[in-house]
Amino acid sequence: MSDVTRERPRIPGSRSATAPERRLPRGRHDLPREFVARTQRDRLIDAMARTVAERGYAAAPLSDVCAAAGVSTRAFYEHFVDKEACFLATFELGVELLQDAAASAYAQPAAWPRRIHRGLDTVLRLLAAEPAFAALAVVEVLAAGAQARARRRVLLSSYVTYFADAPRRAGSPQVPSGVIEAAIAGVYGIIYDCVATGRADELPDQLPDLTYLVLVPFLGPAAAARVAAEPVADRV
């Protein structure tokens, strides 16, 4: 392994933790200690995502995560205090990358409804492409303890900021904050149902309905339906 530079972060679970190119040489070697530690930690995060997606958080013992990572239990405790800490690190890394992708899509110039549509498309496609992380972040997060559930609430609350630029229809009252929260919860509910039933690959198909759900309070039925039906590729 000649390249010891820092890799660009990837969605947890996107690759096997024990792929040949990720294995460290046996015995004595001259690899930097920092590189070895970073590699072990990255592999544990990928293994956590895949193991939890396969077995569920409660049924995934720490020993199975270590085995999937090709890392000893002793080495595990050099990086995380327990299984929950590893789960939270996995969740936070994946969410950061997911949020960055959504924010980048939303930031592209367009009218607000189309920016929302593009951001939703990005989230749905990323989760569909990374079913292991989707299972961890959407479903198993609810079983991983109070801290995980609290971070999930923070994640959902963060989507409120995307409504700051929402238009207000002339002659119509301002959309209540509770309606915005309900729209976010509705999107999450549909995503949860797809992921929990093994249909994460179908998430992109939900884009028109979810776009309509989010936009209709601000645009009205006819305009929301028009935006929801437009191809995302035509909006750049």
Residue 51 token pair: 């193991």
User: Model confidence at 235, in pLDDT bands (50, 70, 90)?
Assistant: very low
Nearest CA among 190, 176, 179 for reference residue 214: 179
Task: Work out the average pLDDT over 121-135.
Answer: 97
Q: What share of the chain is helix, strand, coil (3-state, %, to 5)?
A: 70, 0, 30
Residue 32, pLDDT score? 61
In a domain, 171, yes or no: yes
pTM score, whole prediction: 0.88
* Span 38-49, pLDDT tens digits: 888 999 999 999
CA atoms within 13 A on the CB side of 185: 7
User: Model confidence at 2, in pLDDT bands (50, 70, 90)?
Assistant: very low
Same domain, 203 and 162: yes
Q: Which domain holds residue 26?
A: 20-83
* Span 185-225, pLDDT tens digits: 999 999 999 999 999 999 999 999 999 999 999 999 999 99
Same domain, 151 and 187: yes
Task: Work out the average pLDDT over 163-190.
Answer: 91
In a domain, 44, yes or no: yes
User: Model confidence at 1, in pLDDT bands (50, 70, 90)?
Assistant: very low
Number of domains within the chain: 2
